[in-house]
Amino acid sequence: MPVTLPYAAIWVLDFEFIARDGEHPVVVCLVANDLVSGQWVRVWQGDFSEPPFPLDGNTLLVGYSAAAEWSCFIALGWPMPARCIDLYAEFTRITNGAFDGKLFPSLLAAAAHYGINTMAADEKGAMRDLILSGGPWSASEQQDILHYCAADVRVTADLFRAMLPQLVQSTSTLGGALLRGRYTCAVARMEWNGIPIDVPTLNRLRNGWDDIKRDLVDDIDRQYGVYEGTTFVAARFAAYIEREGIPWPRLPTGTLALDDDTFRERAKSYPAIAPLRELRHALGKMRLNSLAVGQDGRNRTGVMPFGSKTGRNQPSNARFVFGTSRWLRSLIQPAPGRALAYVDWVSQEIAIAAALSCDEVLWEAYTSGDPYMAFAKQAGLVPPEATKASHKAERQRAKAIVLGVGYGMSADSMAVQAGLHIDEARDLLVRHKLTYRKFWAWAMQNQNAGLLGFILQTTFGWTWQAGLGTNVNPRSLLNWPMQANGAEMMRLACCELTEQGISVCCPVHDALLVEGPADDIDGVVAATRIAMERASELVLGKGYIVKTDVDLVTWPNRYADEAGVEMWDRVLARLDVRGW
DNA sequence: TCTATATCACCC
DNA sequence: AAACGGGTGATATAGA
């Protein structure tokens, strides 16, 4: 049953603004059009005061990639709209799976999809350049920019009209759209906040990294001679293994396999390889130049909501500090008097699978606090009194199976991955299927439905139609409900927390980084955990609480990732030696 | 010289 | 033929 839109006004809006890496946006102008009254507003920078339209629940605001509009709201000191729809989110949801990554769903692409006339892409590019030049703009340039902005509003309005039947198809599609719109407001707030960075140390790393690289190569490459400058040369390495008589695996294409796994495996038989492996790992990836840090020392970059087909955010790994190697997270440091908390859902995907499949046995395993050991017990692999300490190896094997199952891993891969005999891996997988029958029935039902062309859907209506006849990966269909519902849970928690005024720095898929005064961080953490638990119950059902874990960082400490501290200390020590 | 593809490393 | 989900991005190599 289609729904009627209950709004007194429907304002379609578009801001032009200047966004520099790591900085807050600078507003250039706003154009908006109310589809109910037909009224237009045009505001040039400097002429802004109060919002030119009401922002209460009787007014619907519509944008494309709307988080950018709300960022401009924040810059102008305006409150968030009570009701909004982001047509980018709706267009990607409705066409999810149709383009298979071959088309970026820009406003122009979405318009073209519905047969709406637009300006040419190169004309748009020229106007963007004029805006990003930063002004000052002549009177006629101002008119051009406002005209261009209005053209985008017209296209967005046409798109809204074209998409309307799909938006109001049911209470679920409209409710879902409003919920996703609400999340774009949370995104704007998080992007505005950003993540506090230790800028002096960042600069030391940026300045000193080339020297460190050279030192490391000079130290170690002497015995190999495979580097030219600081770059590893495959041909030289080929000569080295030839010289030393070390047999080396090749890829199907015939080139040497140079991945870390191969190095690790070869180093077992040929220990002379180990230092080279270490060196390659250390030099590996340190991308710091693109890290987007503003003048105020905060890492700010687009969250890119709904960027993946599961509805997850997809921020740039180069610009976002949580996209870099984990050891670089030690650049995260609260300012004096401030504290940070990294709060993550514990084994979120297992909990989602258990709850949504109504598998009581799997839920019991989850709530035990150690789903891996619980599986080992439920499957009769260890006695009921077994512990992490008493049956370490069995627990490890059980863990490999439990985690692999969520991705649709085969027994063969599990055997390789966990170092099991293939027969044992097969046996464990069968035991998993027998122990968690409801989970498997649910998972296979999702997979088959998807393969048959049915639409998969999360609790609050994010969808994916994998498409008939295309080469869909069945394992992707199997994992999708867990990942997509996890993303939805994250969105709900972000909405609730940002609306409460909690300072959320960023989401990290199954975790949130929140910030507060050092003397009240416990209160912030408590609110965060409550919101995250509530979000899990909203998505999974009453009583299904996904537990959370907290890492606290108070000034003058820095964030430390367990897996990265050693590397961090090593690099910092070398910076000291080199006098950086 | 530019672009497409393959490979690898990293994140959750 | 492959057999581990969702991604970004750097780099090397091949081909137009």
CB atoms within 10 A of CB A123: 12
What pLDDT, in 10s, does the model give residues A159-205? 999 999 999 999 999 999 999 999 999 999 999 999 999 999 999 99
pLDDT score at A579: 86
Q: Distance, angstroms, CA A471 to C1' C14?
A: 27
The single-letter DSSP state of residue A520 is G
Give the tokens for residue A355. Answer: 């709850």
The rounded distance, in Å, linking the Cα atoms of A404 and A353 is 13
The rounded distance, in Å, linking the Cα atoms of A132 and A19 is 8
Using the CB atom, is residue A284 less than 7 Å from strand B?
Answer: yes
- What is A349-457+467-483's CATH number, 2.60.40, 3.30.70, 1.10.150, 1.10.760? 1.10.150
Using the CB atom, is residue A316 less than 7 Å from strand B?
Answer: no
CATH 3.30.420.10 maps onto chain A at: 9-194
**H helix or E strand, kind and range, residue A61:** strand A59-63
- Positions on chain C within 7 A of a protein C-beta: 2-13
CB-CB contact of A508 with A329 (8 Å): no
CB-CB contact of A485 with A509 (8 Å): no
Nucleotide nearest to A322 (CA to C1'): B11
- Using CA atoms, how far residue A15 sits from A6, A148, A301, in Å, is 25, 11, 18
Nucleotide nearest to A312 (CA to C1'): C6
The rounded distance, in Å, linking the Cα atoms of A463 and A311 is 9
Q: How would you write the pLDDT of chain A (580 residues) with one tens digit per residue? A: 789 999 999 999 999 999 998 999 999 999 999 999 999 999 999 999 999 999 999 999 999 999 999 999 999 999 999 999 999 999 999 999 787 767 789 999 999 999 998 877 777 888 888 998 888 999 999 999 999 999 999 999 999 999 999 999 999 999 999 999 999 999 999 999 999 999 999 999 998 888 888 888 888 888 888 888 777 888 888 888 888 888 888 877 778 888 888 888 888 888 888 888 888 877 766 778 889 999 999 999 999 999 999 999 999 988 999 998 888 999 999 999 999 999 999 999 999 999 999 999 999 999 999 999 999 999 999 999 999 999 998 998 899 899 999 999 999 988 888 888 999 999 999 999 999 999 999 999 999 999 998 999 999 999 999 876 567 889 999 999 999 999 999 999 999 999 999 999 999 999 999 999 999 999 999 999 999 999 999 999 999 999 999 999 999 999 998 888 888 898 898 889 888 8
Using the CB atom, is residue A564 less than 7 Å from strand B?
Answer: yes
Give the tokens for residue A160. Answer: 């809204």
φ/ψ of A426, rounded to 5, equals -60, -45
CB-CB contact of A501 with A528 (8 Å): no
pLDDT score at A468: 64
Give the tokens for residue A240. Answer: 């080295």
Give the tokens for residue A41. Answer: 């507003």
The residues that bridge with A203 in the sheet, in sequence order, are none
Number of H helices, E strands in chain A: 20, 15
Q: Which of A511, A531, A502 shows the shortest CA–CA distance to A326?
A: A511
The rounded distance, in Å, linking the Cα atoms of A163 and A89 is 12
Q: Distance, angstroms, CA A51 to C1' C4?
A: 50
The rounded distance, in Å, linking the Cα atoms of A68 and A249 is 49
pLDDT score at A160: 98
**H helix or E strand, kind and range, residue A490:** helix A474-500
Give the tokens for residue A461. Answer: 């209506």
The rounded distance, in Å, linking the Cα atoms of A482 and A477 is 10
Nucleotide nearest to A476 (CA to C1'): C5
Give the tokens for residue A548. Answer: 């959370």
Q: Distance, angstroms, CA A162 to C1' B11?
A: 37
Q: Distance, angstroms, CA A578 to C1' B1?
A: 39
Using the CB atom, is residue A510 less than 7 Å from strand B?
Answer: yes
In the sheet that holds A338-345, the strands lie side by side as A503-507, A511-517, A338-345, A548-554
The rounded distance, in Å, linking the Cα atoms of A523 and A155 is 45
The single-letter DSSP state of residue A50 is S
CB closer than 7 A to strand C: which residues?
Answer: A 101, 231-232, 234-235, 252, 285, 287, 290, 307-310, 312, 314, 316-319, 323, 404, 407-410, 412-413, 417, 473, 475-476, 478-480, 483, 509
The rounded distance, in Å, linking the Cα atoms of A347 and A571 is 32
Cβ within 7 Å of strand B: which of A 517-556? none
Q: Match 């000079």 to its residue by tokens.
A: A218
CB-based contacts of A223: which residues, under 8 Å, 6+ apart? A272, A275
| DSSP codes joined into one string, A383-443 | -TT--TTTTHHHHHHHHHHHHHHHTT--HHHHHHHHT--HHHHHHHHHHHHHH-HHHHHHH
Q: Distance, angstroms, CA A300 to C1' C15?
A: 39
Domain A9-194 fold is Nucleotidyltransferase; domain 5 (3.30.420)
In this structure, which amino acid lies at residue A32? Answer: A
Q: Distance, angstroms, CA A73 to C1' C7?
A: 30
What pLDDT, in 10s, does the model give residues A368-385? 999 999 999 999 999 999
Axis-axis angle for helices A121-132, A139-167 (nearest 10): 130
Q: Which of A297, A298, A327, A322 shows the shortest CA–CA distance to A312?
A: A322
Q: Distance, angstroms, CA A121 to C1' B2?
A: 22
Chain centroid, CA A312 distance in Å: 5
CB-CB contact of A328 with A566 (8 Å): no
In this structure, which amino acid lies at residue A401? Answer: I
**H helix or E strand, kind and range, residue A12:** strand A9-18
pTM above 0.85, yes or no: yes
CATH 1.10.150 maps onto chain A at: 349-457+467-483
CB-CB contact of A292 with A209 (8 Å): no
Q: Distance, angstroms, CA A96 to C1' C4?
A: 22
CB-based contacts of A76: which residues, under 8 Å, 6+ apart? A27, A48, A51
